Chains A and B, each alone.
Chain A
Amino acid sequence: MPGFDLAIVGAGIVGCACALEAARAGLRVVIAERGVVGGGTTAAGMGHVVVMDDSPAQLALTAYSRSLWRTMAPELPAGVEYESRGTLWIAADDEEMAEVFSKQTTYARAGIASQVLDPRELAEAEPYLRSGLAGALLVPDDGVLYPPVAAEYFLSEARRLGVVLLSDHEVVRCGKGRVQFANGTSIEAERILLASGAHIDLLPSLPIQKRKGHLLITDRYPGVVSHQLVELGYLKSAHKLTADSVAFNIQPRLTGQLLIGSSRQYGDESREINHAILRSMLERAIEYMPYLKGLSGIRVWTGHRAATADKLPLIGPTADHTLFLAMGFEGLGITNAPGAAVLAIDALLNRASVIDAAPYLPSRIQQEAVHA
């Protein structure tokens, strides 16, 4: 096996985006995947490309990444199902409406277009929502895509540029310039980039917690939902670091199907469906959109998000100077994949980045935690 400049562990959307970015920079790259490309944490995502403003650093990375998605949108294959329908952040009451205005101010300062809708405009935009809602913030440039196919697209572009894929290769150890596989083989590389999503077995000391989520997809009901709909209460429930929570979050897909979320649970590493959580998630959705009650769901699945305490990913070098991370994206791995790939390869090549990379550096947390 020839030497590589970079060995990437994990062919999810982040690993594949990094492979493409590295290949474009002229690096000799190998990427190892133990299962299906984009079949792990990536497949568990809804595919929402969304600007989030939990912190200035989160806003900077999501805005940067969304701009990269928008730039590449015309060249994405149809199977990626990229659509820019916009997000509607729905306010149920006056308190949440105050958040709508504050969110709009934050976005305006960051140059992100948004528009406040009053109850009448909201009902016109989404006639199947229940009446009596306070209004919404429309973020028109947010989008949605089908994550596994986006990962495959990045990988196919990367392979066209010479990136080597080792499929069916489970990594059992990595660091110090060497990646060891379960089949007994190993490869050497100048640098290793760990992009294994919620699979943190290789570095169990990583400060990442798994948060389980449920999703349901319906049969085809074209025209029922037009935007990505998220309740503003989502921000409150998603911020809870301990308790289980559900929130109204629904996306129309190109096929006319509706993807319904969302749930967050800690401490459940199983893939099994928790019917109590699923029920409360769907009841929440029906509260906002009673029409959903009569629709037929065709599949439910679960997955795990990789959450850090400060809700920012870990991008960049570790104490082992050969080992880099692109991990801990929680619910924003699909959105942030293109931006994270640029930052990761910039760090690898000591290039300056378009946005400040410091907030995402693994060194912000205790260095020994990410020492291989």
Chain B
Amino acid sequence: MPDPQVVIHVNGSPISVPAGSMLSTALLMASAPCRISSTGEPRTALCGMGICLECRAIVNGVPHTRTCQTVCQEGMRVETQP
């Protein structure tokens, strides 16, 4: 039996990920940066444990959410943090 999947929206596009995935993983799967630095560089999760803050993104409209500490939920919307 296949693993259960959830559908989330990354920068407006739906993607299907295994239930229980971290949002940072989903962003990597979608090739989307988590955030853009103040000098314009795309950044993504580095430490994976909520310390480095490189994985911040806008989740359901809330800016600066740590995507490496957030589990994907059905229908969640995540956007790259400007």
- When distances are taken between beta carbons in the complex, the residues of chain A under 8 Å from B63 are 219, 221, 295
Inter-subunit contact B62/A220 (CB<8 Å)? no
CB distance from A228 to the nearest CB of B (A): 20
B38–A256 CB distance below 8 A = yes
A294 adjacent to chain B (CB < 8 Å): yes
CA distance A294 to B60 in the complex (A): 13
User: Are A222 and B82 closer than 8 Å at their CB atoms?
Assistant: yes
Q: How many residues of B contact A (CB 8 A)?
A: 7
Chain A residues with CB below 8 A from B43, complex form = none
Q: A183 at the A/B interface (Cβ < 8 Å)?
A: no
Shortest Cβ distance from A294 into B: residue: B62
Interface contact A255-B38, CB-CB below 8 Å: yes
Of chain B, the residue at the smallest CB distance from A220 is B38
Instruction: Identify which of residues 27-82 in chain B touch chain A, using a CB-to-CB cut-off of 8 Å.
Output: 38, 56, 62-64, 81-82
Residue A296, interface by CB 8 Å: yes
Mark contacts of A238-270 with chain B using CB atoms, 8 A cut-off: 1 yes-contact digit, 0 otherwise. Answer: 000000000000000011100000000000000
Residues of B within 8 A of A295 (CB): 63
Question: B64 and A296: CB pair below 8 A?
Answer: yes
> Using Cβ atoms and an 8 Å threshold, which residues of chain A touch B56?
219
For A254, list chain B residues within 8 Å (CB): 38
Residues in B with CB closer than 8 Å to A256 are 38
Residues of chain A at interface, number, CB under 8 A:
10
**In the complex where A255-B38, A256-B38 touch, is A219 in contact with B64 (Cβ < 8 A)?**
yes
Number of inter-chain CB pairs below 8 Å: 14
Contacts of B64 in A (CB 8 A): 219-220, 296
CA distance A296 to B64 in the complex (A): 8
The complex places the Cα of A15 from the Cα of B61 at a distance, in Å, of: 46
A294–B61 alpha-carbon span in the complex (Å): 11
Residues in chain B near residue A296, CB distance under 8 A: 64
CB nearest to A219 among chain B residues: B64
Min CB gap B34→A, angstroms: 13
With a cutoff of 8 Å between Cβ atoms, the chain A residues found around residue B81 in the complex are 220
Chain A positions 43-79 with a Cβ under 8 Å from a chain B Cβ: none
Contacts of B62 in A (CB 8 A): 294
Q: Report Cα–Cα, A278/B81, bound state, in Å.
A: 28
Q: Determine the distance from Cα of A254 to Cα of B82 in the docked complex, in whole angstroms.
A: 14
Q: Which residues of A contact B82 (CB under 8 A)?
A: 222
A297 to chain B, nearest CB (A): 11
For chain A residues 273-319, which have a beta carbon within 8 Å of chain B? 294-296
Q: Distance (Å) between the CB of B22 and the closest chain A CB?
A: 20
Residues of B within 8 A of A294 (CB): 62
B79 to chain A, nearest CB (A): 14
Of the listed residues A220, A222, A256, A296, the one surrounded by the most CB atoms of chain B closer than 10 A to its CB is A220
> Of residues 212 to 239 in A, which have CB atoms within 8 Å of B's CB atoms?
219-222
Chain B residue numbers with a CB within 8 Å of A255 are: 38
Residues of the A chain whose Cβ atoms lie less than 8 Å from the Cβ of B38:
220, 254-256
Closest to A257 in B: B38
Shortest beta-carbon distance, B33 to chain A, in Å?
15
Cβ-closest chain A residue relative to B82: A222
Interface residues in A1-29 by Cβ distance below 8 A to B read none
Alpha-carbon distance A222/B64, docked complex (angstroms): 12
Q: How far is the CB of B56 from chain A (nearest CB, A)?
A: 8
Q: How many angstroms between the C-alpha atoms of A221 and B82 in the bound complex?
A: 9
How distant is B81 from chain A, measured CB to nearest CB, in Å?
A: 8
Question: Smallest CB-CB separation from A296: which chain B residue?
Answer: B64
B43 CB, nearest partner CB in chain A, Å: 12
Query: Shortest distance in angstroms between A110's beta carbon and chain B's nearest beta carbon?
Result: 37
Can you pick out 14 interface pairs between chain A and chain B where the beta carbons lie within 8 Å of each other? Answer: A219-B56, A219-B63, A219-B64, A220-B38, A220-B64, A220-B81, A221-B63, A222-B82, A254-B38, A255-B38, A256-B38, A294-B62, A295-B63, A296-B64
Residue ranges of B at the interface with A (Cβ–Cβ < 8 Å): 38, 56, 62-64, 81-82
Leading 7 A-B pairs by shortest Cβ distance: A219-B64, A255-B38, A296-B64, A221-B63, A222-B82, A220-B38, A256-B38
